Structure 1
Amino acid sequence: MKISLSPTRWLLLAVFVVSSLAGCRSEEEPQPTQPSGQDLFVSAQAATTIPKAQAQALATIAGFGAFASHIQYDATYFKMVYKTTYKGQLIQVSGLLGVPLNTPKAPALLSAQHGTTFKQSESPSNFPSTFTGFELFASAGFVTVIPDFIGLGVSGNVPQPYYDKATSAGAVVDMIKAAKYYLQQQNITVNKNLFLLGYSEGGYVTMAAQQEIETNAQHGLTLTAAAEGAGGYDLNGMLNGVAAVQNYATPSYLALILYGYNATYGWNRPMSDFFQAPYAARIPALLDGTKTRTDIEPQLTTSPAALFTPAFYSALGTTGGEPVLRQKLTDNSFGGWAPRSPTRLYHGTADESVFYQTSVSTLASFQKAGATNVTLTSIQGGTHQSSITPMMADALPWLQSLDK
């Protein structure tokens, strides 16, 4: 709009061998070792240092004025290149690393996940030419990593695996590990706490990373808390919602998820399987990394019935329609899992792009699975764009209160 696990990185390999007339014996191979931070780190290049006063001004201009009083430090930012797994192979990806300067004690590490990005030049690693708002967490005293995600930054030649759980989690977890290695090499000390935070696609990616950290001890990471906003975690529920409305505000998200799934899973289906003319022919060029969402939206339509082919639109409204797609949406959602770390969900009740109900249903699923430390903060009347500021204003002091 995201555990289906990548075979070469996550799955337990079990091989049952050697049958004989007397019987058979099974033998389990050891679980493959996860790559270390040293294995994953490629490079880090200083991009800029932002003084405290400049960060406060930037926060105010960008609409994050509530952050200004929390900005206490100059911060240096680095473009970092590291490796993560895509289709079973390690590829180079990138992100931004922000380090606060002259903190009175060792800071915590925070990974912040950005919202949906279409244009390559808006990748977080291009800071200060681009700005997500999450860079301010470094000025507030957290060593902050902001992954670009696969398909952006140095991996811009790859179609974005949008709302794919395994690659989403991997881009975050691998950057955390690579950053921890680099910080150690530079004698930059961080404390034991690790926080995750994200909004929109970043909320989904944050939840994927949280699940991976909490369920795979081989990473050697312990999560302190997570804050996740408007992430579309219940993907079947989201598409059911799209099929039920006459107008959907951000059709670019629909194009990106289907285009991304088609490439990520090797379906090789023509876009005309999903989209009507003239939209099907436009989509590859619209998603080529040179256009922003505001460039893309006028080239599509907000009417799902007009955007999708009649057959595909009908399939979205039925439980048995498009079974392969439906299974992937189920695999990439979070049913049956209960977060262990303190977790705050945030969502605007008037969100027109990622429906509020997806957070309601996700919370109910977590509670049914036994979660006791997850809450949902409803931002009354909040739209998809307007809800990020109140979320960040609430999440920052909460995370600071847990940084002990």
Structure 2
Amino acid sequence: MTSRAIRIIPATLAIGALLAAPLTAFAVTQPSLAQAAVAQAALAERTAVRGSLVSAVEVAKLKAADLDAAATDAGFVGTPKSRYDVTVYRLIYRTIDPNGRPTTASGIVVLPDGRHGALTVAEYLHGTTATKAYAASVDPESTDRLITALFAGTGLAAIAPDYLGLGLGPGKHPYIDTNTETSASIDLLLAARTFTARHGVALKRDVLVTGFSQGGRATLGVGRALTRGEAGSFRLGEIRGVAGPYDLLDVELPAVFTGEVEPHVATMYLAYFTTAWDRTVGLYNNPREAFRPPYADTVEGLLDGTHTEGEIVAGLPDTPAKLFTNQFLAKLKHPTAHFRQALQDADQICHNWTTPAPIHFYTGTKDTDVVPTNAPACATTLRATVTTHSMGPVNHFGTAHTAYPQILRTWTP
């Protein structure tokens, strides 16, 4: 994969080639993702109990020294030394789709070897990925898997959902859908409680929530649900969001058209966002209303979760103006009617709840994927104690590289 391809899919830490780490200890033989997803969807129809565990399988073991070496090779400079070897498990669990119907999703639980009793849980929420096979539960080189394992290496019980439609989840991923990002994350937490009890581990009540990019935004939805008691006895411990697009309507979308977001990056984001939101919100009647030829005939299929990053990059132009019709570009620049209302509803994660738990945002001044002004815009409307940490003159991924060693040190038990 070329360096340009890496930058086009900027909001994922699930790309082995992006932050290549020698995670050969994570390698396992995988079944056909399509076959597994169909099988899990069939299981979901048998019962609709959210958060119930369908299956669990060990997928990797990693020594503490190997974990530290992987963190260094991946660029997480200053990461604290791991205190424990860890074991990674893939869970399949029951949750709901955007229409509230029963489905399944996959995710990982990583436990520190030799630790029993009550452990604090850290939930990591990943950034944008458009490829099912890059999810942490199935990709042995996933940097999302690495970050989650690093939390476990400190002595925490660490979990990471793939979200809907990624990993072994059936169907397409409903990208930037707060409701299902939240439900998939909460339901994994419930499934993890059942699973860890079998290993002599109880999960403490307070949950530490962190995420990068798309996952940074998702931390607020998960935190809101925990605060409102939507995860049983679990409650919010704190939030640490890294480079999240918290304010879509007033900050991130306008930044696309002022040039603050790099055009080739904006093209991929908007293509993914538009095709996903057409399924959940309804943005066009026919792809030709939104996309120019020849992309109108190919873009929806290109972003169905089965294509690699290289294929996605090769199938898209380098600017939004080349991808979208003039009429649809105007709609993106100046949202109206139900589209504007959907954006306002999505941005309520910064408005309509309060929490006594601390919230921390991490930004980089050279981030041209998710502009750093997202954080203060959200902080001013959140009814909570919010601290924004600038990581200095670093880009999108540089923000994660500098933030996560700090978060790991802060959360080490």
Q: Same fold (TM over 0.5)?
A: yes
Q: Which residue of 2 aligns with 1:142?
A: 156
Residue type of the partner of 2:151?
F
CA contact (8 A) 1:159 1:263 kept: no
Residue type of the partner of 1:136?
L
Mapped to 1, the partners of 2:301 and 2:336 lie a distance apart of 25
Larger-Rg structure: 1
CA contact (8 A) 2:246 2:350 kept: no
Please state how far the C-alpha of 1:222 moved relative to its aligned partner.
1.1
**3-state SS of 2:176 partner:** coil
CA RMSD of aligned residues (A): 2.2
The alpha-carbon distance between structure 1 residues 218 and 98, as it changes in their structure 2 partners (threshold 3 A), is closer
Mapped to 2, the partners of 1:262 and 1:245 lie a distance apart of 25
Q: TM-score, normalised by structure 1?
A: 0.83
Q: Which residue of 2 aligns with 1:48?
A: 60
Out of 364, 367, 392, the residue aligned to residue 348 of structure 1 is 364
Please state how far the C-alpha of 1:49 moved relative to its aligned partner.
1.3
Please state how far the C-alpha of 1:302 moved relative to its aligned partner.
3.5
Q: Which runs of 5+ in 2 are unaligned?
A: 1-10, 12-47
Q: Which residue of 2 aligns with 1:166?
A: 179
The alpha-carbon distance between structure 1 residues 399 and 244, as it changes in their structure 2 partners (threshold 3 A), is same
The alpha-carbon distance between structure 1 residues 393 and 164, as it changes in their structure 2 partners (threshold 3 A), is same
1:327 and 2:338 equivalent? no
The alpha-carbon distance between structure 1 residues 363 and 181, as it changes in their structure 2 partners (threshold 3 A), is same
1:81-160 → structure 2 map (5 Å cutoff): 81-86=92-97, 87-103=99-115, 106-132=118-144, 133-134=146-147, 135-155=149-169, 157-160=170-173
1:121-270 → structure 2 map (5 Å cutoff): 121-132=133-144, 133-134=146-147, 135-155=149-169, 157-217=170-230, 219-237=232-250, 238-245=252-259, 247-250=262-265, 251-265=267-281, 269-270=285-286
The alpha-carbon distance between structure 1 residues 198 and 335, as it changes in their structure 2 partners (threshold 3 A), is closer
1:396 and 2:378 equivalent? no
The alpha-carbon distance between structure 1 residues 266 and 193, as it changes in their structure 2 partners (threshold 3 A), is same
Mapped to 2, the partners of 1:339 and 1:350 lie a distance apart of 30
The alpha-carbon distance between structure 1 residues 245 and 113, as it changes in their structure 2 partners (threshold 3 A), is same
Please state how far the C-alpha of 1:225 moved relative to its aligned partner.
1.0
Q: Which residue of 2 aligns with 1:281?
A: 297
**3-state SS of 1:107 partner:** strand
CA contact (8 A) 2:116 2:200 kept: no
Residue type of the partner of 1:270?
N
Please state how far the C-alpha of 1:36 moved relative to its aligned partner.
7.0
CA contact (8 A) 1:354 1:384 kept: yes
1:362 and 2:378 equivalent? yes
Q: Which runs of 5+ in 1 are unaligned?
A: 2-34
Q: Which residue of 1 aligns with 2:88?
A: 77
The alpha-carbon distance between structure 1 residues 227 and 255, as it changes in their structure 2 partners (threshold 3 A), is same
Mapped to 2, the partners of 1:313 and 1:127 lie a distance apart of 35
CA contact (8 A) 1:249 1:353 kept: no
Residue type of the partner of 1:394?
Q
The alpha-carbon distance between structure 1 residues 316 and 227, as it changes in their structure 2 partners (threshold 3 A), is same
Please state how far the C-alpha of 1:298 moved relative to its aligned partner.
4.0
Residue type of the partner of 1:88?
G
The answer to which of 189-198 and 163-172 deviates more is 189-198
**3-state SS of 1:78 partner:** strand
CA contact (8 A) 2:205 2:234 kept: no
Mapped to 2, the partners of 1:126 and 1:280 lie a distance apart of 31
The alpha-carbon distance between structure 1 residues 149 and 330, as it changes in their structure 2 partners (threshold 3 A), is same
Please state how far the C-alpha of 1:361 moved relative to its aligned partner.
0.8
1:374 and 2:386 equivalent? yes
Mapped to 2, the partners of 1:267 and 1:316 lie a distance apart of 10
Q: Which residue of 1 aligns with 2:70?
A: 58
Mapped to 2, the partners of 1:36 and 1:394 lie a distance apart of 37
CA contact (8 A) 2:151 2:158 kept: yes
**3-state SS of 2:298 partner:** helix
Mapped to 2, the partners of 1:88 and 1:142 lie a distance apart of 32
The alpha-carbon distance between structure 1 residues 335 and 140, as it changes in their structure 2 partners (threshold 3 A), is closer
The alpha-carbon distance between structure 1 residues 92 and 218, as it changes in their structure 2 partners (threshold 3 A), is closer
Q: TM-score, normalised by structure 2?
A: 0.81
**3-state SS of 1:198 partner:** strand
Please state how far the C-alpha of 1:181 moved relative to its aligned partner.
1.5
**Paired positions, count:** 359
Please state how far the C-alpha of 1:71 moved relative to its aligned partner.
0.9
Mapped to 1, the partners of 2:305 and 2:332 lie a distance apart of 28
Please state how far the C-alpha of 1:211 moved relative to its aligned partner.
1.1
Mapped to 2, the partners of 1:346 and 1:322 lie a distance apart of 31
